[in-house]
Amino acid sequence: MTRVGETELLPGGKPLKRVVFSADEIRARVEELGDEVSRAYDSSEGVLVIGLLKGSFIFMADLVRNIRLPVSVDFLVASSYGAEKTSSGNVRLLYDPEASLRDRDVLLVEDIVDSGHTLNELIPQLMARRPRSLEVCALLHKRVARLDREPRWVGFDAPEEFLVGYGLDFAEDFRHLPFIGSI
Active site residues: 114
Radius of gyration of the chain (CA): 16
CB atoms within 10 A of CB 122: 20
Compute the distance between CA of residue 71 and CA of residue 140 in angstroms, rounded to an integer: 22
Q: Burial code of 51-75, b = ≥16 C-beta within 10 A, e = fewer?
A: bbbbbbbbbbebbbebbebebeebb
